[in-house]
Chains A and B, each alone.
Chain A
């Protein structure tokens, strides 16, 4: 059995460090150019270099997305940009367009991965790109685990599969709803997520839905139950989606899959409910296994639930801990007050709990509530915690 790579998203350097600390083997990031998710806080070249240096010190990898479908106006500066990525030490680029793939091949030695934006759904199309010198392909999210197995058995290419996060409702890259409805180009980073909006459906002039809108929106992908199968298939890389997600989301999701993959590969007994419970703490949209078990049913769709519910449970990040005084320095992320019950969550997947006593601000004053985002505060924690541990509010200690 080969242990697959766990690949996590990172929208900025802090998220990248969190992803690695919480167990990712590699992260993918967006640069300032040629990347989808134009609104994510993408990295400039010095930041990409810093990311690569940080990763390589840990013997980990950084991939950069260059996966837009470029129009003529987008091509200028491509050679220089790809050379800059190579100079920064990037381990691979994730591409969708022939112009980017060929330019990278001609002008650099960058490793090339094919993006899910081209929706590779069968082994023949995967082998086309393998024959073009591409080492890895990211498969379409429309495949079930049996299709993935058949595909893997018929190609030499490394296979990367999405295991968690948001899903396009369409075949990725085959959608211009956003272009047509909002003038925002979905395939150049401007997607307005029109597939998640509410619609009425008509047969001619007859409306077919009542108060409940016609919805196409998809639950997010979550494959805790399928990881064992994907490892058996020999999938090379297991990918988590979400460059715009919070550090709490990344830490929770990465550490859960990290522990799960390690336990499966080390042949430990797998307690699935434990992993499911843990990963649910990062959930801000309902989840399902997507296409993994076969064609999607109503259980993979979201109905009547347009709004997302970002988790408010994440209240702070540990910055430091003084073992002599049992005092943790934390950076506030959501409101909490003395008397709240807190779970400390760390990269080793273990959690411990305590009740908040006093909250002290930087001037040494006790405050009645931690109100301000990113405020530095001190809290008594009766057990050792470490930098980058996270604090979640819970209902009770037991």
Chain B
């Protein structure tokens, strides 16, 4: 199982590489959602060169929802990505698949539509479309993750650590609320320090608005220290997403996972270090739907 990380700029890459990262997830905010850092095309080129010189892999994150008006720029960006000869392209909208196929790079694609890859048939369907892999949805239990991954018909990835999102609206919800209450709103766009608290729940959900709309995240970050060795038997790629965190946090988490994968360190005591603002997400939590 390879470990993928989200570096905070080109500068973060070498440190993460030294700590054992195998894959770097790099995106530009015009084409990617909820990125830890938006790389310009020059930075993407530089990152690509650096990552290759380190003998590591680069995946381009293009997980935005595509509207007709985006199709022209999407074509251009895919041409650029094709030239870079990257190792993978993470997408969430089928327009990316359609256009990538036209230029013959669908075999680089990894389908990550947030909520739609939920059962064992999804890898079968997507392998028939000739893509490289898929990312399992975030609300799936450990038992289901095992079943979805076991046939290995394509590369299976999972966000195993990080602050997961749970809502994406096209609406500018923050801007509209501040306009309604006659408050200046511009300071609150792209502001990642905002959070909402529901009136009867003692939980705090990060929220921000960007060009793609409004995003809301879980109250706690996910950690899988006690599960990483089980996941190692099933997954091809384990993603550590560093949104809302700094490079140091990312390196630390990466180091802990690598230790555990090398059978060093104690998972329970590492988990304990993250207690309070981390939890196990849906790994052991089944959702209900029929009452």
Are the C-beta atoms of A121 and B173 separated by less than 8 Å?
Answer: no
In whole angstroms, how far apart are the Cα atoms of A209 and B183 in the complex? Answer: 10
Identify which of B38-46, B116-124, B244-252 touches chain A.
B116-124
Which residues from chain A contact B97 at a C-beta distance below 8 Å?
A: 128
Identify which of A49-57, A210-218, A325-333 touches chain B.
A210-218
Nearest Cβ distance between residue B118 and chain A, in whole angstroms? 5
Q: Which residues, 179 to 207 on A, are CB-close (under 8 Å) to B?
A: 179-181, 183-185, 187-190, 194-195, 197-204
Q: Which residues, 171 to 190 on B, are CB-close (under 8 Å) to A?
A: 171-174, 176-181, 183, 188
CB contact under 8 A between A174 and B119, given known A147-B68, A213-B199: no
Interface assignment of A109: CB less than 8 Å from any CB of chain B: no
Total contacting residues, chain A, CB less than 8 A: 77
In whole angstroms, how far apart are the Cα atoms of A142 and B214 in the complex? Answer: 13
Q: Which residue of A lies closest to B180 (CB)?
A: A298
Q: Which residue of A lies closest to B33 (CB)?
A: A174
Which residues from chain B contact A185 at a C-beta distance below 8 Å?
A: 139, 287-289
Identify which of B13-21, B24-32, B161-169 touches chain A.
B161-169
Are the C-beta atoms of B93 and A179 separated by less than 8 Å?
Answer: no
Nearest Cβ distance between residue B234 and chain A, in whole angstroms? 14
In whole angstroms, how far apart are the Cα atoms of A124 and B102 in the complex? Answer: 11
In whole angstroms, how far apart are the Cα atoms of A297 and B282 in the complex? Answer: 35
Identify which of B52-60, B140-148, B264-272 touches chain A.
B140-148
Tell me which of A122, A170, A183, A215 contacts B67 (CB under 8 A).
A122
Q: Which residues, 20 to 57 on A, are CB-close (under 8 Å) to B?
A: 38-39
Q: Which residues of A contact B (CB under 8 A)?
A: 38-39, 68-75, 96-99, 102, 118-125, 127-129, 142-143, 147, 150-151, 154, 169-171, 173-177, 179-181, 183-185, 187-190, 194-195, 197-204, 208-210, 212-216, 218, 291, 295-298, 300-301, 303
Q: Which residues of B contact A (CB under 8 A)?
A: 65-71, 93-95, 97-99, 113-116, 118-122, 125-126, 138-140, 144, 147-148, 166-174, 176-181, 183, 188, 191, 193-199, 201, 203-204, 207, 213-214, 216, 218-219, 282, 285-291
Given contacts A75-B120, A181-B203, A190-B291, 8 further A-B contacts (CB under 8 A): A70-B119, A118-B113, A122-B93, A124-B66, A125-B93, A174-B115, A297-B179, A301-B180
